[in-house]
Every structure is written in structure tokens, then in C-alpha cells.
Chains A and B, each alone.
Chain A
């Protein structure tokens, strides 16, 4: 186990180094940060001087070395726009994104599970067929169209929810500014989290349905029926439990999609989270912030994957990790 952990850590470091090199290498292709910082009438000499001061005229290796030295100490550079350490800026925006993702996942779990179960138990039922049709449409409609429809229906026509922003926030346990404890904040959370949920939902409905159908065919379910257990107990306790394992695994993999979707959702709803911050940074050519974001997100993936692998080993000791060539 210890050897596995060690190997895993070395591997994670290696991945992080590659991520940092790539995220640093693309900086040059994103445009000229100095162009964004100065007015049009500033002469090229002065621009060049500013570039020198920022160290942008140094070679790639020199720039990367400087960056890597800082990164080891936890310093991912200073955002040009926010004028604060890039890591601090990102961590400040993290709660907003987490709250949004959390609400979306909650909605997905609460709606997708019963829908998937229903579609599996009664595959020929009209409602199940309708669900399947809706979910295939849902899979193929881009998220921004869903978002625009949401805004049009719920905020412009019905005037039920605000169309952008995060609303009123309160301090939560002195840890972060949260929007889920005020009415206004919840109202603001409604549309973006629904959009995100709708974008993620179809795949889960289909997955739960497929898995559940398979489980329902298995021996122990047939045994349970013959034992005379109630239908509810069989479906929701015995079958669902085993359905959920692969679903959770796939859910973990879907985390990447979630990150991509939060970027889109936050941009459309002007949600002040990490995704919105990232898009803003790209348009401002705030290169330190862009690199820092990629590294933070990359780091989050690496950590999740490592933890998932560890949990696998703990849950099912027959998975001999060390012998998996890792």
C-alpha cells in the first residue's frame, strides 16, 4: 500500500509538471498582456519597457524556471488585473463555483435517479419513452441554448428569477461568502444550477436505466422476488444499491464535463465563480491567472483520481493495486 501511495505521488507530481509546462507554454499564444494593459497611444518603446519589467522578453526556459521556483513555494504568480496572487484570486472564487456545482449535482441526483429507475422498471410505459426521448434531445442540445431558454422563460417572460449574478451573500461560519442562506442568493442560484443540471442529467438518466435493467435480470433479484419481498424494497434497496456503484464511478469521470460546463454556465449567467474568472482572464490576457487556473483545476483532477484509486483499493482489497503496473 505504501509503495503504491509513493508511486502514485511521484506520478501525480509528474503529471503536475507536465500540466504546468503546457499551461505555461500556451501563454505566449494567447496574446500580448501589455496590449491589454496600456492605452492605444502608448508608444512601442514604452510597451517594450513594460514587457521587460514584467520579464516577458526573457526566453521560455528562463520564464518557466522563474515560474516553477515560485510554484514550489505555492506562488503561482500575480494576476495582472486583480493585482493579487493568482492563487488567492482563484480560491476566493472557488466557493461560488462549488455552490453552483453542488446544487446542480443535488438536482441531478434527486431527479435523475427516480427517472432512471422508472424507465428501467417500466420500459414500455409512455412516460418512460417520453423520458428517453427528452434525454436524447437533452444530450444533443448545447448548454448555452438551454441557458438562453431558461433566461427567456423564467426571467424575461415569467419574471421569476434574476438573469445574472449571485445576489446577496452572507458569511458562512466565517469561512466564505455564501449565497445559499439568503432568499435572494437562492433565487440567483436557481437558473444557473438548473441549466447545469439539465446539461448533466440525460447521461445519468440513461446510465441508471441501463445499469438498473441489467441488475434486474440478475439472480439475486429473481431470488428476492421468489422470497416474496415487496416491489419497493427490491427496486429501491436491493437493485438500486448495486446500480449506483458504476453510476458513481462514471459520475467521477463526469467531473471533467462538470468543470467545462461550469465555465459555460458561469459565463452566460455572469456567475462570479472560477469559470467566469477564467474566461475573463482569457479575454484580458491575464496570463498568470490563466496558468494558475489550469494548474489548480489540473491539481484537483490529479487529487480526485488518486483518491478514487485509493478508495478502490480500500473497498475491494482484491484489486491488487501494486500489481497493476502502476
Chain B
């Protein structure tokens, strides 16, 4: 024990003496729950994966793919893609990276409860030679490349034999890590601190990244996180609460970077619980009574884009002329036609610590619906309790936010719109209980359609039908807001999925 302490002190001294080393101190609102990249599909885990592991390919800021551990790839047929892997790459353990590690990782992903749903589509992976693999999908799959961005090869020799994935227990993989990534882990105090240092053998010598050491601290409270940045205790934070934005902007030496995200916020109107919602005129009236632009402007201070559909504009299903509509007289007229001139009472639930200003948004919506005589009994809950209520469909109107895992519209449709089916898991988050078989057919077809144009038409058809049916109330796509010191060039490394590529981060003048 004592030797360990002395060693730690020596290490600390060495690190302190190397004054030239560039340290990045980061405070995000969440950290990975485990060192095992396959234990939980969450933002924290994926951010960690991008630091310590390396994907086969990743999304660039412009929405294109960028090659990483796969140098290039080739579509062999509608079900198979051949990946050519990078040579001369080593893991942090010293083991050499090759095709066997990729095969191993994909097979492990197929066993992970969180990732399995996405990787079920892959039937088999075969090694052609040491640096070439074929990925075979069970059925033609247009999203195979999108899914492969989740493959962060793990060190087979390091993990093998002790690689079980257990959600609530300690495993070798949840405590030990060996990846090929730009950083390797030095120490970790669960829930309060993680320290990483640059991997001296990192293959990407062209990267302009100059961060030698990263100290990550999860800070949950918005005000504490911002104070940490303003006082100079950290260099880079996420997220910034909208009410702090104006103040932060005025402070010298601090920069704010915002990007529109693809996370959609929406309301479900439960048609099973309320017969009123079965009437398309009522649903339309609700859609017309809610003023998305006002919510975005007043409550989110402009840090979101009002939505009239589910698909964000970089998604295939996006229809450019579907704008959110606001027409109070029209809404009142529709309510009258539907025979609800006097209105009715409904219940509504929303989380109060999950999405940006979610509680305030929900209150504004309740006020807006009151103007068409729908009296809303609103209840907001912390996320820990809210999603249980959501699964139980406990209120007539429920709020939901959804980020597509595959960066594709169909993921939204599958979970939010498809007819609920406990067996397949389709429509698991469809608290509208909206069910249309033509949409279901289109969703299935879009999953196999390899022709981009036909696929585009299918998705847009779904989006158009949802709009005409007023199946849900799309609200807005919330923005991602980061803040950092001016010399930390975060604008080049952040992206709309919020996995900042810190390996490529450049810090000026240090």
C-alpha cells in the first residue's frame, strides 16, 4: 500500500514538473457508468469510447463518414460490406490490432443487452485476412454503415475469457480497459473524477490534437458547472443552461458553441385513454394551438429549432416545407366542429430534469391549450420517476425526447410511431397508441430498401401521413450548447451527437 502511495506521489511530481504538458479539464453533466463500452448505450459511454477506443468509422461534423480504424470499405452486395483495416495500430496493452479484434467486438456487441437491438441485423462477420473483414447483414440493410460507427474494437487478447457483460455487477471489463484510442486511462474515481493521458503510440500522427492529459469531472448542477468554468477551474463544459447563456456570452475569454441537434422533443396524445384524441380534428386543433416558435424564443432563448415533423433536416425523411403551424382561431374552429367547444380536462406529464427547460416548456404548453378550453392537469417528475410513468402510459399527454441512434428517420418511426408490439419492441415509446398499418409496412420496407431514392420516398410518405393525421405534436429540436475558454478550440471537435473528438482538440498558447 505504502509503495503505491510513494509511486503515486512520484508520478504526480513528474506530471507537475512537465510544465509544458497541456492539460484539458472537462466538466460534463454525466460520466460513463462503466469502463465497458458495451454495458450501457448512453452519451457518457460513447464519449468515453471516442477517447479510449477508436471506432471503425465516425461521423464528421458535416454528416459524412470519416475513416478511422477502417481505412476504407466496399459494398460487395446488398447485404455485405468489406472493411479494410488500418495496419500498425496497437492497443494500450501493447497487443497488435487486427481483424480478429473487430470480429470479436462485433460478436460481443451482439450479446450486449443495450446494443443487441442495433446489431441483430448483422448475421455474421468473417475474416478475409488479418486486415480485412466482411460484415454480412441478415437482410439487405441500408443503415449498415451507420451501425458500424458503434464498433469500437476491443483488445481480444486482453479481454477474452473475462468479458461477460453484467448490468449491476462488477466485471473485469467494467474495471479494466484496453483500446486503441488517443487517450489511455490513468485513474478513475467513480462518479467524481477520471484522468487520462495521451497515448504516445497513437496511430493518427496527422491529428492537430495537442492535449496531453485530460481530467474529467462530472458536475451535475448547472450553476456549479458554469461557476467552475468562470472561475477557471475547468476549461470546457457541457451543457450550458439557456438562462445562463446571455451572461456567459458577455464574459471575456469564454466562448459558447452551439449546434442544432437531431434530438426531437414531442408530445404524445394517448388515443387509448381519451376518445377525444381519436378525432383528428382535436389532434389538429392541439397542434395548431401550440406555438412552437414562441416556446423556442421565450423559454429556450432561441437555442432550439421549432419542429413541424419528426425528422431533423439532415435526416432522409425531412420534408422542407413542413413548418410548425400556429393558428388559434383555426384551432378553436376545429374544436367546435368536433363538438368540444366547451373543451375538456386532460392530464399531462413531463420530466423536469431530463431535457433543456422541460418543466417550463410543459407549463407553457398547458397555458396554450387552456386557450382552446382544454384544461391541463400538469404533473412534472424527475427523470428517474418519469420514465416509469411513461412506460405505464400514466397520463393523457406525455412528453418525450428522442435522438436517433442511427442518425436516420426510421429509428424515430420504429420507436415512437410504429404500432406497439411487445414481442418485437416496435413502438415501445409510442405513448400515443397511434397505430396505422400502412405506416408499419413502410417502416418495415424502409429497413430493407437499398435504393436511396425509393427509401427517401418511403420515409417522406410516413412523415407526410403523420402530419396529415396530426398523430403527435412535434415541438422542437433542442440545441447543444458547449462553453470553453477561448484558447480551447472546441468548435472544431464538437458534433451534433455530442461525442466531442477530444483527440483532435487543439489548445492554443500553452
- Encoded as 1 (CB less than 8 Å from any B CB) or 0, chain A from 155 to 167 comes to 1100100111100
Docked CA distance A30–B385 (Å): 6
Whole-angstrom distance between the alpha carbons of A239 and B219 in the complex? 48
- Determine if A39 is an interface residue (Cβ-Cβ < 8 Å): yes
Residues of chain B within 8 A of A164, CB atoms compared: 217, 219, 224, 227-228, 233
Q: Are A42 and B117 in contact (CB under 8 A)?
A: yes
- Interface residue? A58 (CB, 8 A): no
Segment with Cβ contacts to B, from A4-12, A78-86, A204-212, A301-309: A78-86
Assess whether A171 is interfacial by the CB under 8 Å rule: yes
The interface bits of chain B over 204-245 (1 if a CB of A lies within 8 angstroms of the residue's CB, else 0) are: 000000000000010111011001101111000000000000
**Which residue of the partner chain, among B42, B402, B422, contacts A39 with CB atoms under 8 Å?**
B42
Q: Which residues of A, 6-54, contact B by the 8 Å Cβ criterion?
A: 29-32, 35-46, 50, 53-54
With an 8 A cutoff between CB atoms, is A283 at the interface? Answer: yes
**Is A74 an interface residue, CB under 8 A from the partner?**
no
**CB-based nearest A residue for B168:** A80
Q: Contact between B231 and A41 (Cβ–Cβ < 8 Å)?
A: no
Q: Which residues of A contact B190 (CB under 8 A)?
A: 81-82
Do residues A283 and B385 form an inter-chain contact, with CB atoms below 8 A? no
Cα A37 to Cα B45 with chains together (Å): 12
Is there contact, CB below 8 Å, between A41 and B118? yes
Main SS class of interface, B: loop
The answer to whether B309 has its CB under 8 Å from any CB of chain A is no
Q: Which residue of A lies closest to B9 (CB)?
A: A170
Is the CB of B346 closer than 8 A to any CB of chain A?
no
B228 touching A163 by the CB < 8 A rule? yes
Take A39-B42, A82-B190 as given contacts and tell me if A31 and B382 are in contact as well, using a CB distance cutoff of 8 Å: yes
**Nearest chain-B residue to A36 (Cβ)?**
B384
Q: In whole angstroms, what is the CA distance A269 to B385 when docked?
A: 25
| B345-385 with Cβ < 8 A to chain A | 353, 382-385
**A270 at interface (Cβ–Cβ under 8 A)?**
yes
Q: Give the number of chain B interface residues (Cβ < 8 Å).
A: 50
Residue B1, interface by CB 8 Å: yes
Closest residue of B by beta carbon distance from A267:
B221
A200 at the interface (CB under 8 A from B): no
Point out the residues of chain B lying under 8 angstroms from A39, CB to CB: 40-42, 114-115
A299 to B423, CA, bound (A): 47
Would you call A282 an interface residue if the criterion is a C-beta within 8 Å of the partner chain's C-beta atoms? yes
Complex Cα distance A80/B423, Å?
28
Residues on the B chain within 8 Å of A30, using CB: 384-385
CB distance from B440 to the nearest CB of A (A): 17
| Bound CA span A138–B41, Å | 46
The reply to whether the CB of B33 lies closer than 8 angstroms to some CB of chain A is yes
| A7 smallest CB distance to B (angstroms) | 41
Could you list some 7 contacts between A and B, CB below 8 A? A44-B425, A80-B168, A82-B190, A148-B223, A152-B227, A270-B192, A283-B382
A residues sitting closer than 8 Å to B (CB atoms) are: 29-32, 35-46, 50, 53-54, 78, 80-84, 148, 151-152, 155-156, 159, 162-165, 171, 174, 267-270, 272, 277, 280, 282-285
